[in-house]
Structure 1
């Protein structure tokens, strides 16, 4: 009788254990290296390697902190999703960034546009999400009926959707993405549906097979977007919209960004550089448009808020077709004190090391390129600094304050090389 009872108790214990999978049950306590599936929280130790073999979930009220130098290897067969219902803090450093990636053998030209794992999907209950000095690559898998995000009605809640690398959806939450790299992704790098937001000093490249933006903002956002370099996104660098009926009205301050070759790989009305629509309110200053397809473009059937401001942006086109598409019309927005010419080659930004004749359909990025400005660049001294940004006083995440950087008196994300 006792043996039978012991067997029953053991069976119950094993059933409970299997039904409540915990991540990092298989962790080396000295190195912090481990494998993860199911629920996860706590700390992934500095320099450790974490193998994600299935979907992981940070539960509401819990947090996961990822320390500098951690490499997160996503299983390309399982194509895991990272579901954030609590908080996620990925705090890397310049010397030791955090990397969300796949096994090295899969980082090939064949997999240039990712699709090998899902993405970081933050539910409306996620209060704080930080990515600082973090690399996200090879994400953007397509959902199926078996996807956790579909079952839990997250993101677009259906099968057949190409996931963004990052989705955030709490209008009362805080999102800070700084000093990070998004690359080798199938579609949108980020898709944001609300929150107090800072995107600053980031790099976006080799993204978008048939669509997708670097930063895609919907209603409910109060965002500062500054000092980002966006190279050859399939559609726009930034899609700024108030669609979705969330409060507050989206208001985005966009300044000192460098946008290059964006929009050419999607030859449709929406392929361009910055797209504004649906009563979004924007302030757009000090941005460099180099060989982008179109300048700032509006949806004429659902335009931006009339209080929106535009100015001190620089436009450069290597050929006449590009220059012609910069010229202000009913759907191309002109600004005050813009640096804009009418002839191919006008306003050459004089990048330190980037051939401006590079094919606009090129999606491959050379990390040796340098987009700082040489002496005599028409972008130097033409920036506007007397405008208000949302988060100059900062957003506090995990007890640390992150501030929007001050605007510069030059145009673009990078100043003089000196």
Structure 2
């Protein structure tokens, strides 16, 4: 399989035009200077685009843009890419059709933003507990798929998506006739990101996602490495933070998830790729998830169903409508799980630590209790009892959920020195590591941690 990374390493040294033509496997890349190849100097993107968005600059697009198969669109650090849309129609909710390779190389000091023109107002409204506009779906999101085959281009390959230290927010505008009707029927909400390329890599690291109307990210095939991200307030009356279908293989670890409409992380082998959905979920923290889902019995934290398999370890699940959910139609024999830490404010939450419509049961190294409010995880700066979960209701309208239960805000989710979760993680297993490349254009996989949850007492794990 060809890969972009060798090509990009050469570009870093030679400064020639970026391309998504992939060449030979490469397992390690040093940290090269990011090339300014084919720099984009206009502040407006439209039609077919490729090249490099230059560090610190702001770019705009108000109609759909397309990156062709074989091309690359890259964002250097500190770039703002602003969608000008109103979320009312497909034509006024611009989308990025990514048939080539997408690279966003934000940094901790200079993160990138893919957002909308009224983002500051939307965040202010959300802070004031007005979520209507935040969950409206202002633009069409990023759709990463191979192009449709043509006579002149019979075998499109698509490309990788590499996203680091990047904010992506407020997607969900209605789909139109230009969208592939197999996954976006006309009028349905689109996602912040959709990725469907079973032969390519989806790398998302140290990034932030906020305010999608439905699913935040959906993957229908691909090698994934999703590490150390923050997911907040996604889904109005349904939708997952990260929804994986047939053909998805890889790892999700050290992600901080708060305020999901349904599950934080969902694995299902629904689809026809021929490659079983196989994902590891470890050392994630999930808080206050699942309460806006309008359908009965849907999850609120981790969900494995429809022949999906993988490993589930070291996750911290706090006040979620449902805890770990493993349905009878999942590949139960090939799902390994233990060392989960679950906390519930009310009796109804405690009874669903392992969802009653699933087959999962308490494991020997789980931290949980049948007593409500037992085993407080002792976050440094977050009161797990500030929102009165007196029952296990659903759905709850977003307007009834205070901002502090659906977003990070000023919260600090690291564990205090006396937390029961310290030192209780399982470390004697390996990530799937389906993404083989490392370095600037590859992944940095954080291995399983000795402490439960996304934040490790030694400072590793989630860096937000």
Relative distance call for 1:31 and 1:88 in structure 2 (3 A) is: closer
> What does residue range 20-59 of structure 1 map to in structure 2 within 5 Å?
32=41, 34-59=43-68
Matched-pair contact (CA < 8 Å) for 1:394–1:403? no
The equivalent residue for 1:192 is: 219
Deviations 1:342-385 (A, max 9, x none): 10111110000011013364454242100001111010000001
Relative distance call for 1:355 and 1:157 in structure 2 (3 A) is: closer
The equivalent residue for 2:113 is: 99
Q: Give the drift of 1:256.
A: 0.2
Q: 1:290 aligned to 2:318?
A: yes
The match for 2:197 among 146, 159, 170 is 170
> What does residue range 74-93 of structure 1 map to in structure 2 within 5 Å?
74-77=83-86, 78-93=92-107
Q: Within 2, Cα distance between the matches of 1:61 and 1:393?
A: 20
Q: Give the drift of 1:401.
A: 3.1
The equivalent residue for 1:331 is: 358
- Gaps of at least 5 residues in structure 2 are 1-37, 87-91, 126-131, 147-156, 390-400, 460-464
Q: Per residue, is there more strand in 1 or in 2?
A: 1
Q: Give the drift of 1:403.
A: 3.0
Q: Within 1, Cα distance between the matches of 2:181 and 2:121?
A: 28
> What secondary structure does 2:455 align onto?
coil
- Gaps of at least 5 residues in structure 1 are 1-28
The match for 2:376 among 348, 352, 357 is 348
Q: Within 2, Cα distance between the matches of 1:120 and 1:30?
A: 21
Q: Within 2, Cα distance between the matches of 1:390 and 1:242?
A: 17
The equivalent residue for 1:128 is: 160
The equivalent residue for 2:446 is: 405
Matched-pair contact (CA < 8 Å) for 1:93–1:133? yes
Relative distance call for 1:393 and 1:103 in structure 2 (3 A) is: closer
Matched-pair contact (CA < 8 Å) for 2:134–2:170? yes
The match for 1:253 among 273, 280, 283 is 280
The equivalent residue for 2:19 is: none
The equivalent residue for 1:24 is: none
Q: Within 2, Cα distance between the matches of 1:392 and 1:251?
A: 10
Q: Within 1, Cα distance between the matches of 2:181 and 2:60?
A: 24
> What secondary structure does 2:350 align onto?
helix
The match for 2:306 among 278, 292, 301 is 278
Q: Within 2, Cα distance between the matches of 1:307 and 1:189?
A: 27
TM-score by length of 1: 0.87
Matched-pair contact (CA < 8 Å) for 1:392–1:406? no
The equivalent residue for 1:22 is: none
The equivalent residue for 2:176 is: 144
Q: Within 1, Cα distance between the matches of 2:433 and 2:354?
A: 32
Q: Give the drift of 1:271.
A: 3.1
Q: Within 2, Cα distance between the matches of 1:328 and 1:233?
A: 17
Q: Give the drift of 1:324.
A: 1.6
Q: 1:389 aligned to 2:447?
A: no
Q: Give the drift of 1:41.
A: 0.2
> What does residue range 5-16 of structure 1 map to in structure 2 within 5 Å?
none
Matched-pair contact (CA < 8 Å) for 1:287–1:313? yes
CA RMSD in angstroms, aligned pairs only: 2.1
Matched-pair contact (CA < 8 Å) for 2:223–2:434? no
Relative distance call for 1:117 and 1:393 in structure 2 (3 A) is: closer
Higher-RCO chain (CA-CA 8 Å, sequence separation at least 6): 2
Deviations 1:70-93 (A, max 9, x none): 001101142110000010001100
Q: Within 2, Cα distance between the matches of 1:232 and 1:392?
A: 29
Q: Give the drift of 1:391.
A: 1.4
Q: Give the drift of 1:306.
A: 1.1
Relative distance call for 1:368 and 1:394 in structure 2 (3 A) is: farther
> What secondary structure does 1:321 align onto?
helix
> What secondary structure does 2:225 align onto?
strand
Paired residues, number: 383
Matched-pair contact (CA < 8 Å) for 1:40–1:64? yes
The equivalent residue for 2:416 is: 374
Relative distance call for 1:85 and 1:154 in structure 2 (3 A) is: farther
The match for 1:210 among 227, 237, 241 is 237
Q: Give the drift of 1:154.
A: 6.1
